[in-house]
A and B are shown apart, each in its own frame.
Chain A
Amino acid sequence: MKNIGFTIFVILLLVGCENNNSFKNSLDKAQISESDIEYFQNLVGDTVLFTVDQSGLRPDAISILNAQVNWLKEKKFLPITIEGHADEQGTREYNLALGARRATAVREFLLAKGIEQDRISIVTYGKERPLRVCSNEECWSKNRRAVTVVGKKIVE
């Protein structure tokens, strides 16, 4: 929970910024420790996006996941929960199953790259937790996502 002040600063900077990636590169990385979860969330990237009704990993997702793997390998003690989400264009049950597929696709990737199985749990939220609220592709493309949440593990 250190660097909360800085985190808020980063979040404020990111608010309203359409393209986080371009912004991230310009951040002064010296001010945030690479070992912080905030670093993982904002600078490694905790979120990968999916194509409509698909759970296959796109090239942009794979490059983010590779960076995630590198970071996660340095933090062996941290558990991980992968949340799968869908946009609002499907029915509730189907979207739960689709979110599970997406979370599983990320899980499989992390496992294949050597992240320990017992660190990872997955959960689907279907269309229950939209990040963006407009009803067009601009928001839907951001809502079709899998988020790697570090420091959280679901106990069965």
Chain B
Amino acid sequence: MVRNSILKFLKIFSFTSILFINFSFVAAQKNDAPQLDMTVNRGVIKPISLAVPSFIKESGANSIISRELAKVISNNLDSTGLFKSIPQSAYVSMPLSFNTPVQFSDWSIINADVLVMGSVGLKPDGRLEVKFRLWDVSQQKEIGKGKQYFTNSESWRRISHKISDTIYTRVTGEGAYFDSRVVFVSETGPKDNRTKRLAIMDQDGANFRLLKHPPSLVIAPRFSPTTNKIIFTGYETGKPRVYLMDLSSEEITSLSELKGMSFAPRFSADGSEIVLSMTENGNTDIFINTLSTGVKRRLTTNNAIDTAPSFSPDGKSIVFESDRGGGQQLYIISTQGGDAKRISFGKGRYATPVWSPRGDLIAFTKIKEGKFHIGVMRVDGTKERLLTTSFLDEGPAWAPNGRVLMFFRETPGKAGAPSIYSIDISGRNLRKIKTSSFASDPNWSPILN
């Protein structure tokens, strides 16, 4: 048993190292490149070839779910750019039973590297039972242990996301991120008369839903670390103010202790505090507000615009933007106050810094020579890399594993409108997230419970 686990570990490790080599190759290329290169996709990485047959239908399960479970997994893994699903029409056989031995030759002949085998059955109490196993086709070995899930039938998508997370984690060694949601602002109407509504969807764009709130303008919702609340800026009183919404009841609470104009709120990693900016006498500074007591404390006192603050995952520091040095640049300050340390020094303006959940990187918006970019840098400001460029790219949001970013891209002109995109922090795999309306201000939840 122990030896078996070690074998499995070694197998996973070898996969991981292959990926790491590829990642570092891309990174090196990008760093050396003088100009932003948006064509990194051209075959630098050979994706892992993946076979996900429809799940085997057991007692009472319907065939739509058995098909869709597999489809959502394929879509998730394909969306990473690290995997490529083989179309089911190319399969030479379909597994008939979950427990019969895998015919590896049927999968190696279509060049599958990895095979996902699953089954779905309906229990007498109405719950779905979903099982899956992951196979390394060339080694003819199982990767990790099989898993079994029980859920009510409406939640089958989440099982697909959990299985996708397990596969992704076992094969790449990176943290999970598929079983997560995105809050954002849904936009409709013409550019000079936009209606903005808070909305939520699964990470892959499924289960889109508008949230209930007064019709006034709303801005930039952000998840609480427990994923059951959001905090956002709303204009219900006529001025920008910070509000909390409980996502299960959609009940909204105003943070009444924050007078005047307040905006750009974000939770601390433990959810007990929020950091935000407040404007007094035309001057915008950073404050931390303790939610349980309503006590706020000032973090910056400066004539400059200090805004867009974000907590470090360890809760000890805040990264924010300030134009105290003339133009917008990024600074880090202790949550206990004191001097802020500037970390960005490149040409152009740096804005909307967001600390990675892994703690290692800061994502930001950069405005340079009339173009907007999404970029990442280390916490000390070194190793800056720009990942995107367009007329207007703004507002990066980290996936829970700190490997992928979402942001919004707005097109220029009269018909200009925003859409949400995602990109790997390697700079690869730029993808537009399908939404039923214009969409902006994405914020990615942690992994759901």
Contact = CB atoms under 8 A, between A and B. Distances in A.
The answer to whether A and B interact is yes
Interface of A: 55, 81, 88-94, 96-98, 100-101, 103-105, 107-108, 121-125, 128-135, 154-156
Contacts of B264: 93, 96
A92 B185 CA distance: 13
23 contacts: A81-B238, A88-B410, A90-B351, A91-B321, A91-B352, A92-B394, A93-B220, A93-B263, A93-B307, A93-B351, A93-B352, A94-B307, A96-B279, A96-B307, A101-B282, A104-B282, A107-B282, A123-B238, A124-B240, A130-B192, A133-B416, A134-B413, A155-B238
A131 B192 contact: yes
Given A88-B410, A97-B307, A123 B282 contact: no
Interface of B: 190-192, 194, 196, 217, 219-220, 237-240, 259-261, 263-264, 277, 279, 281-284, 305, 307-308, 321, 323, 328, 351-352, 365, 367, 370, 391-392, 394-395, 410, 412-414, 416, 441
B279 A135 contact: no
Contacts of B367: 89-91
Given A124-B261, A135-B391, A97 B279 contact: yes
Nearest to A96: B263
B281 A97 contact: no
A130 B192 CA distance: 5
B365 A103 contact: no
5 closest Cβ pairs, A-B complex: A104-B282, A135-B412, A97-B284, A154-B238, A91-B351
Contact of B261 (A88, A123, A134, A155): A123
Contacts of A128: 194, 196, 217, 219
A66 B412 CA distance: 36
B282 A94 contact: no
Contacts of B219: 92, 96, 128
B192 A132 contact: yes
A155 B238 CA distance: 8
B413 A100 contact: no
B421 to A, nearest CB: 16
Contacts of A133: 190-192, 413-414, 416
